[in-house]
Amino acid sequence: MSQKIARFLAEQQPETPCLVVDLDIIAENYRALKGSLPIAEVYYAVKANPAPEIVSMLADLGSNFDTASLTEIDLCLGCGAEPDRLSFGSTIKKQRDIEAAFARGVRLFAFDSQAELDKLTQAAPGSKVFCRILVDNSGADWPLSRKFGCELEMARDLLIEARNRGLDPYGVSFHVGSQQTDLSQWDVAVGRTAMLFSALNEAGIELKMVNLGGGFPARYRTDISEIDAYGDAIMKAMTHHFGNRLPAMIVEPGRSLVGDAGIIQTEVVLISKKSYDENEARWVYLDIGKFGGLAETMDEAIKYRLKTPHDGGEAGPVVIAGPTCDSADILYEKAGYELPLDLKVGDKIELLSTGAYTTTYSSVGFNGFPPLKAYFI
């Protein structure tokens, strides 16, 4: 935990649950990523944490933004990012939203289907468009496969069709899956991308950009490689498949910029057992759960690190659950979490690296629990 966050929690004693984000860490993460991939343009994936404090700061640092809705577009514009620094990167858009984005000056759009291309032809004439391709997401803790992207053969036809319709067939995008820990996945995806570049070359179209997506990790329970290792793997993949004719490169980090910058403080509401069986795990109920912002614990996919006041003492197995009256609101049952035997009701627990994909996943008030409160310091 950063000293700034520790001091804030000690001095302010905010009501729990709450998220505290250290903006300096986000700035550091942004600079580290730029340092490890100097020739790539960064488009922050706004959905990871759309707080205006974060978006404004990244806009000042020179970041571009990957957006998925008109609300996110207006947020970025309002925070000082010009429209030519925005990508409307969702492949699932309403035509009237495309029109509105175009009217605001946005000229870079994603698509992965004929029907979306139809909308872009109508609503964003002449714009730069990039086609998202399907890639395998193995190695990712939070896959983004299947739902987005199309096969290479279809992507080729769609990009040719884009040119025929007066759009600018600008490039190719993919996402190797969020929290991707297998560095070789970029090589596979870049290889497929390069095949598509060749196929289009044969059709007289020179694509100009590869959008390498997100997938860079935050620090959860499992060790991860440093960001430089990701930069190296990506540059190796690019030179391996494109030689010295490198196209423009875009990365769209979400999780890796903001995840480690945030900490959720929560309070133990109840510790109980279901029987007199000595070997049975304790149930530890927190004042935050799946509906309070921890949706990524679905299927125990994202495994946050926990910090308690009794760390170091003897620990035992636990089931960790949220406070709501829904039995889906269990965070960890199978992942093998242990907590100190001294843990008691009223103790504060910190969930580390919770700056990404938490505040906006929080429900508006299920069971009367208010949305996750957040502080940006």
Ligand X SMILES: *Cc1c(COP(=O)(O)O)cnc(C)c1O
Please identify, using beta-carbon distances, which residue of 29 and 56 lies nearer to ligand X.
Answer: 29
**Residue 254 engages ligand X in binding (rule: CB under 6 A):** yes
Alpha carbon separation from 292 to 60, 265, 272, 287 (Å, rounded): 31, 12, 21, 8
Q: Which helix (H) or strand (E) holds 249?
A: strand 248-251
Question: DSSP code of 58?
Answer: H
Of 19 and 48, which CB lies nearer to ligand X in the complex structure? 48
x/- letters, 292..311, toward ligand X (CB under 6 A): --------------------
The residue of the chain with the least Cβ separation from ligand X equals: 214
Q: Does the annotation count 131 as an active-site position?
A: no
Q: How far is the CB of 229 from ligand X (least distance, A)?
A: 16
Does position 214 interact with ligand X (CB under 6 A)? The reply is: yes
CB of 307 to ligand X, least distance (A): 23
Long-range CB pairs of 87-92 (<8 Å, 24+ gap) are: 87/43, 87/211, 87/250, 87/252, 89/43, 89/45, 89/173, 89/211, 89/252, 91/116, 91/132, 91/148, 91/149, 92/116
Figure out which of the listed residues 107, 119, 175, 241 binds ligand X, where binding follows CB under 6 A: 175
Q: Which stretch binds ligand X (CB under 6 A): 191-199, 210-218, 267-275, 295-303?
A: 210-218
Local structure of residue 176 (DSSP, 8 states): -
Contact window for ligand X (CB under 6 A) among 75-83, 196-204, 251-259, 324-332: 251-259
Rule CB under 6 A: say whether 213 interacts with ligand X.
yes
According to the binding rule CB under 6 A, does residue 89 interact with ligand X?
A: yes
Of 78-86, 246-254, 287-295, 307-315: span binding ligand X (CB under 6 A): 246-254
* Span interacting with ligand X, options 14-22, 24-32, 74-82, 213-221, rule CB under 6 A: 213-221
Alpha carbons 289 and 110: distance in angstroms, whole number = 34
How many CA atoms within 13 Å lie on the side-chain side of 257?
A: 27
Q: CB-wise, 343 or 374, nearer to ligand X? A: 374
Unique residue bearing structure tokens 């499992």: 222
Cβ at position 333, least distance to ligand X in Å:
25
Is 255 an interacting residue with respect to ligand X (CB under 6 A)?
yes
Distance CA 27, CA 233 (A): 23
Instruction: Report the chain's terminal Cα–Cα distance, integer Å.
Output: 13
The residue to which tokens 């149930």 are assigned:
283
Our CB check for ligand X shows the closer of 175 and 241 to be 175
Closest CB to ligand X among 47 and 119? Answer: 47
Q: Which residue has the tokens 């903001």?
A: 258
CB-wise, 247 or 253, nearer to ligand X? 253
How would you classify the pairing of strands 18-21 and 262-272?
antiparallel
Choose which of 178, 265, 266, 362 interacts with ligand X (CB under 6 A): 178
Taking CB under 6 A as the rule, does residue 215 contact ligand X?
Answer: yes
Residues 25-84 that bind ligand X (CB under 6 A): 45, 47-48, 66
Beta-carbon-side half-sphere exposure of residue 309 (alpha carbons within 13 Å): 11
Number of shown-chain residues binding ligand X (CB under 6 A) = 16
When asked if residue 216 is in the footprint of ligand X (CB under 6 A), the reply is yes
* Amino acid (1-letter code) at residue 253: P
Q: E strands of 252-332, at which residues?
A: 262-272, 282-286, 306-307, 315-321, 330-332
- Binding of ligand X by 111 (CB under 6 A): no
Residue ranges that bind ligand X, judged by CB under 6 A: 45, 47-48, 66, 89, 175, 178, 213-216, 252-256
As annotated, the active-site residues are: 325
